[in-house]
Structure 1
Amino acid sequence: MRRRKRYEAILNTALCFCALIILIPVFMVIINSFKNQTEAARMNLKLPTTWHIFENYKEMIREGGIFRGFLNSTIITVICVLLLIILCSTMAFVLERRKTFFSKLIHMTVVFGLVLPLQIIPTYFVCNFLHLTHEIAAVFVLIVANMSFTVFLYTGFIKSIPIEIDESAWIDGASHTQLFFRIIFPLLQPVTVTAVIINFMAVWNDFGISIYFLNSARNYTLPLTVYNFFGNHNSDWQLVFANVVLSTLPVAIVYLILQRHIISGMTSGAVKG
């Protein structure tokens, strides 16, 4: 019993130390967004002598184009997440239920994408050939095409659903579309919530794809507004920190509200699969 308590104390201490490694930079960004230009340039953890709670954020909003970036990020994120959920869930259902050589080959190819990074230069030339560069459509296509992890999640969860449910629905005269969307898809709620959260954070925070394929300021997402704003105000760190705080706030709120569903959805698929 003593050994177990000692082990738990050591583990909790290590976890607290790891949490500090993450929380200290977050605290520094937030606290420096309320300082003046001189104090923010020092980039320390001291509290500001004078709190500029509204001034920095007002100036940043006025010059940073953050509302346009927020609108673009919202449009891209919502559409991409919806497409990923629909396409990946239906693909995973078909690949899991059809035990053919062709379906297994497709499944292996999709899962193999987990270990292959996106090659920007060849992809850029392909999109340029298809006249998709400098357009939001290219971002839609490239983000949705990166569906390997979501398909992997859905496939592991669908394995736990008995095939007898499918057979009962077919006996009752249900079509394949009715079978999936009326019977199977509601059963996928835990893993669907997990997929929504993970993809929301990934798409919202995406920088690599957006910076190469959204070269117009009117199409900039929030991460790109931070990049662009830093280029124009590289000496105004208090404004840069304020931009970072507002850019990460939406995804932080979504994560804090739905974080319990991430572990439950992933473990359900792992255990049941």
Structure 2
Amino acid sequence: MKKNRLFTSILNLVLWLCAFLILIPVYMVIMNSFKNQSEAAKMNMMLPTQWQILKNYHDMIKEGGILRGFVNSTVITVICVLFLIILCSTMAFVLERRKTVLSRMVNMAVIFGLVLPLQIIPTYFVCNFLHLTHETAAVFVLIAANMSFTVFLYTGFIKSIPQEIDESAWIDGAGQTELFFRIIFPLLQPVTITAVIINFMAVWNDFGISIYFLNSAKNYTLPLTVYNFFGNHSSDWQLVFANVVLSTLPVAAVYLLLQKYIISGMTSGAVKG
């Protein structure tokens, strides 16, 4: 018993230290967003000598194109998440129900997509070859980048749904489309909520793909508006930090409010599958 208590105490101490290390950058970003330009440029953990709470955030919203970036992020995120939910849920249903050689090969390709990173440069040239506009290409690439995990998540959950439900629906005269959208898809609600939240955070926070394909300031998403505060001779770091805080607030709020659905959806899919 004493050894178990000692091990638990040491483990708790290590976890607290890890949590503290993770919170240090968060503290630095928030504190520097309240400093003036010279103090923010030092990027230290000291408290501001003069708090610039309203001024920094007011200047950042006024000069940074935040409203336009927020609208762009919302439009791109909503489109990507809707396509991901529809495409990946139907794809996972077909892969799970049809035990053919082709379905196994596609399923293997999905698994490879979980471990192989997306190569930006070849993808960029492919999109140019297909004459896709930059905005359309960004949406397609963001969908493709998140498809593997979403299909994997749905496949694990669909395994828990008895195939007898499909057979009963076919006997009653239901077609493939009616079977899926009227019978199977409502049963996928827990994993669908999880997929929506995870993909929302992934697409909203995306930086690498967006910076390559959204090469115009008017098309920038909210995370990319940070570039509006960098100049050739100086950088307004206090506004950069304020922009980072504002950009992460929607994702942080969504995660804190709905984290129980993320855990329950992923766990149920893993255990039942």
SS in 1 for 2:174: coil
Aligned to 2:202: 202
TM-score (norm 1): 0.95
Aligned to 2:21: 21
2:75 maps to 1:82: no
TM-score (norm 2): 0.95
Q: What are the equivalent positions in structure 2 for 1:1-273 lying under 5 Å apart?
A: 1-133=1-133, 135-146=134-145, 147-231=147-231, 234-273=234-273
- Aligned pairs, number: 272
CA displacement at 1:130 relative to structure 2: 1.7
CA displacement at 1:59 relative to structure 2: 0.6
**CA deviations over 1:170-200 (Å, ceiling 9, x no partner):** 1222221121112111111111111111111
**CA deviations over 1:52-75 (Å, ceiling 9, x no partner):** 111001111111111111110110
**CA deviations over 1:98-119 (Å, ceiling 9, x no partner):** 0111111111112211122112
Gaps of 5+ in 2: none
Aligned partner of 2:126: which letter?
Answer: V
Distance 1:94 1:234, change over 3 A: farther
Aligned partner of 2:59: which letter?
Answer: E
Distance 1:231 1:195, change over 3 A: farther
**CA deviations over 1:131-174 (Å, ceiling 9, x no partner):** 224x2110111111221111001001110111011111112222
- Alpha-carbon distance in 2 for matches of 1:220, 1:66: 9
Aligned partner of 1:94: which letter?
Answer: V
- Alpha-carbon distance in 1 for matches of 2:185, 2:231: 46
Identity within the alignment, %: 78
- Give runs of ≥4 in structure 1 deviating > 6 Å: none
- Alpha-carbon distance in 1 for matches of 2:267, 2:187: 15
- Alpha-carbon distance in 2 for matches of 1:202, 1:228: 22
- Alpha-carbon distance in 2 for matches of 1:232, 1:61: 21
SS in 2 for 1:160: coil
Aligned partner of 1:164: which letter?
Answer: E
Is the Cα–Cα contact under 8 Å of residues 34 and 52 in structure 1 kept in the other structure?
yes
Aligned partner of 1:144: which letter?
Answer: I
- Alpha-carbon distance in 2 for matches of 1:21, 1:185: 41
CA displacement at 1:77 relative to structure 2: 0.5
